[in-house]
Amino acid sequence: MGSVNHRSSRSLLSPAQNPACTRAHQITALALVAVTFILTRAFDRLSCSSSSSFNPSSSSSLSPPPLFDRGILRWPNRGFGSALALKIYVYSEEEIDGLALLMRGREGKISADDCLKGQWGTQVKIHQLLLKSKFRTLKKKEADFFFVPSYVKCVRMMGGLNDKEINQTYVKVLGQMPYFRLSGGSNHVFVFPSGAGAHLFRSWATFLNRSIILTPEGDRTDKRDVSSYNTWKDIIIPGNVDDGMTTFHGSTLVSPIPLSKRKYLANFLGRAQGKVGRLQLVDLSKQYPDKLEAPELKLTGPNKLGRTEYFNHLRNAKFCLAPRGESSWTLRFYESFFVECVPVILSDQVELPFQNVIDYTQISIKWPSTQIGAQLLDYLESIPNEVIEGMIARGRQFRCLWVYAAETEPCSATLGILWELQRKVRQFHQSAETFWLHNRSIVNRDLVEFHQWRTPVPLP
């Protein structure tokens, strides 16, 4: 239970702090000259404490969960709490015209299965997990959150929609959601699974600037004037590691090898993409070929690594270097936990998931991207094997938090995200375009009651 200290005072306003009581006291004392000091004080304490007790829940039968119990603050379990208690409504493509476009493209040909794979698969996985979730509700009225499904990163990559169409479709979709308008979007949840974050929807700043965005990308500086990531409302999610590496029970695609058997001190197995840090690593590996494996990889052709081959290389070093690429977050960071190398982040602006509960210094290293050179290799070489083993062992415990498994599993990214969402539950929503009256009815600027709002609802 998240209940507050029971030793606290019964009343929020003590008699001495209450001017009305002090005056009452004086009058009482003057009128009752014959009564002894002790009796007066006893009477005073009795009458004042009962009249000054601050208890809004008793005065209004309308307020649902009592925040006060006989003057004692009772912080509700909901919102933080010791158990998950959420109600999430998931919009369906039948209900909202345009959602199908955001999920399957113009011709409706892109399949969810194709979008499940690869580093952006989270946009599909999170949707599918919520559909099966015990926290899903079919009643909008009781929902804490509204999930807006969209596989738009995949759809765009596969040519299913262009940027202009994506933007227009989102605006059309949101106009069909009165509950979006009611909260100003603040209880609506979107997944943007790539480095572009919410920028995939060009006009995100106008429409989604209050909504909860699930994204692996927390960089506030990257190539854009305005960051679409906001610590206080958005949630950093882990990238989508290949399913073959993350199975809970039984075999994995590639299993880790003992530390003493690893060929390299460190590796970087990715395309350089013309990025400074990555190019420096490729150069460094030419100077120190027995310490650092960092070949010049390409997307296609002989210098491309297959899936299994990639993980076979990745597991062959003590440290897996994770430099920034097109954007700050990097899938390699998450992958390294499953081949059991210690990730070394070379991406200064990175933000990591669940930072409120995970101490990343226990399981990883972050090194300045301006110090990529022999000094990095010297430093990594100076770390004793026992220390590396310790980091790997702790990483083995934490890595379940990167796995998009069913919420019935004891640990998963899914549960982490649900907990983060629970911290964002609001009992009350409002925006610049919502108002409320004495009888708790919510109206818009034209004083139209919420149940009469008709779609399309006017958007900013």
Ligand X SMILES: *[C@@H]1O[C@H](CO)[C@@H](O)[C@H](O)[C@H]1NC(C)=O
CB nearer to ligand X: pick between 248 and 436: 436
Q: What residues make contact with ligand X under the rule CB under 6 A?
A: 167-168, 171, 202-203, 205-206, 209, 437, 439, 441, 460
Beta strands in 252-401 (DSSP E): 264-267, 292-293, 317-323, 342-346, 365-366
Name the residue with the smallest CB distance to ligand X.
460
Alpha-carbon distance of 230 to 235, in angstroms, equals: 8
Say if residues 350 and 358 touch (Cβ distance below 8 Å). no
In angstroms, give the least distance from the CB of 295 to ligand X: 40
CA distances (Å), origin 391, targets 108, 317, 337, 341, 394: 46, 14, 10, 9, 5
| Cβ count within 10 A of residue 41 | 13
Say if residues 211 and 234 touch (Cβ distance below 8 Å). no
CB nearer to ligand X: pick between 1 and 62: 62
In angstroms, give the least distance from the CB of 448 to ligand X: 10
Alpha-carbon distance of 345 to 302, in angstroms, equals: 28
CB nearer to ligand X: pick between 22 and 167: 167
CB nearer to ligand X: pick between 438 and 454: 438
Enumerate residues 6+ apart whose C-beta is below 8 A from 21. Answer: 15, 44, 48, 51, 52
Alpha-carbon distance of 370 to 367, in angstroms, equals: 9
Nearest Cα residue to 271 out of 262, 279, 280: 279
Alpha-carbon distance of 413 to 352, in angstroms, equals: 13
Tokens 């995970």 -> residue: 358
In angstroms, give the least distance from the CB of 19 to ligand X: 35
Report angle CA 442, 444, 449 to the nearest 5 degrees: 50
CB nearer to ligand X: pick between 165 and 243: 165
CB nearer to ligand X: pick between 98 and 416: 98
In angstroms, give the least distance from the CB of 87 to ligand X: 23
CB nearer to ligand X: pick between 134 and 164: 164
In angstroms, give the least distance from the CB of 450 to ligand X: 10
In angstroms, give the least distance from the CB of 171 to ligand X: 4
CB nearer to ligand X: pick between 50 and 61: 61
Say if residues 276 and 346 touch (Cβ distance below 8 Å). no
CB nearer to ligand X: pick between 206 and 362: 206
CB nearer to ligand X: pick between 28 and 209: 209
Dihedral of the CA atoms 190, 191, 194, 197 (nearest 10)?
Answer: 20
CB nearer to ligand X: pick between 229 and 404: 229
Helix axes 19-31, 37-52, angle to 10 degrees: 150
Beta partners for residue 267, in sequence order: 293, 320
CA distances (Å), origin 8, targets 104, 372, 429: 56, 55, 30
In angstroms, give the least distance from the CB of 144 to ligand X: 22
In angstroms, give the least distance from the CB of 441 to ligand X: 4
What is the dihedral sign for C-alpha 8, 10, 15, 17? Answer: positive
Return the SS3 of 238.
coil
In angstroms, give the least distance from the CB of 436 to ligand X: 10
In angstroms, give the least distance from the CB of 399 to ligand X: 35
In angstroms, give the least distance from the CB of 350 to ligand X: 23
